[in-house]
Structure 1
Amino acid sequence: MRPPRQKWLLVLVAILLITNIATLSIYWFKKPDHEGGPGHGEPGNREKRFGQFMVDQLKFDTVQEAAYWKLRDSMMAIQKPVMDSMRSSKKRFFDLLNEPGATDSMLTARSNEIAIMQKKLDSVTFRHFQKVRAICRPDQLQKFDTVIKEIVNRMTPFRRNRPDSTFNKK
């Protein structure tokens, strides 16, 4: 096989090869900072991003930010046992799949346990957002209300790619 007569063709192929290798190495070695990438499963990672989102969107000053993180940490401490209980209740609910004689009353009882935990969780979350709203200045309240609507949309099922989503706009 003869090498091509035109040196520029060899140079062009070499440049393309180097560019492709560089591009692939960037994708392979860069640590993703988006959902689904490494670190996504770390406990608290999602909550920290939501917390930082609130701070950034509302443009809290340093005093407000300190108060916000204190409120958030307090809320998380209250939420954790409730979420653990809900997880256990859901596990017991779906464990009924292994029981051939599972009755409607058993399903109702177990689903009621889940509902009780969900109500507690929603109440804790509501009270938290009430406290956060209370630390906002009057000029931040409209933005707070918009951000809360978006957060509620993200917390509810069937929220994929809503056109009105501020989280989807970057």
Structure 2
Amino acid sequence: MDKIKLLTFAVIGLLLLNLTTLSLLFINPPKGNEQNHKRPQEIIVEKLHFDKKQQEQYGQIIHWHRGRITDLEAQIRETKQDLYTLLQKEAVDETEKNNLITILANYQKEIEATHFKHFEDIKKICRRDQIKDYNTLTMELSKIFSQKQRPPKRD
């Protein structure tokens, strides 16, 4: 068998192997944790079994939460810009640097307090029969929110 025939068989074999692999992936896609593909909002609604009225209330809670977090993140960006602008000076004023770092820490504290209030507000809209699910959810919060976030859906 000459080299050309051997090379032709190898190319055809690799092509068939690739096509088989691709067809198997389309027929049986890899199964992962479907929860990883859901937004935190969807997970919370599902786990707490919110009815339509509760989902509307939850939407209002989310609107307030996102607005507050967006404002705080903007203030953090501005303060960081002020902080890093200090690096352009001949000598950094330590008092000014420390004040800006303290301001950043306070903004982060406000973010955490805002997150905590967000979940207190969610608890307030739960019915008694949902509190057990809510308590279970609180044990999973760090896991749910440590996942990479997809951008929110635009309405």
TM-score normalized by structure 2? Answer: 0.65
Mapped to 2, the partners of 1:21 and 1:126 lie a distance apart of: 46
Matches of residues 145-160 of structure 1 in structure 2 within 5 Å? 145-152=135-142
Could you say which residue in structure 2 is the equivalent of 1:113?
A: 103
Runs of at least 5 residues in structure 2 that lack an aligned partner in the other structure: 28-33, 148-155
Matches of residues 5-154 of structure 1 in structure 2 within 5 Å? 13=13, 15-20=16-21, 22=23, 49-152=39-142
Aligned residues: 135
Distance 1:130 1:25, change over 3 A: closer
Mapped to 1, the partners of 2:51 and 2:117 lie a distance apart of: 22
AA partner of residue 150 (structure 1): E
Mapped to 2, the partners of 1:58 and 1:16 lie a distance apart of: 46
Higher relative contact order, structure no. (Cα contacts within 8 Å, ≥ 6 residues apart): 2
SS at match of 2:50: coil
Say which structure is richer in helix: 2
Runs of at least 5 residues in structure 1 that lack an aligned partner in the other structure: 27-32, 36-45, 161-170
Could you tell me the percent identity over the aligned residues? 21
CA-based RMSD of the aligned residues comes to: 3.7
Distance 1:23 1:75, change over 3 A: same
Query: Offset at 1:109?
Result: 0.6
TM-score normalized by structure 1? Answer: 0.60
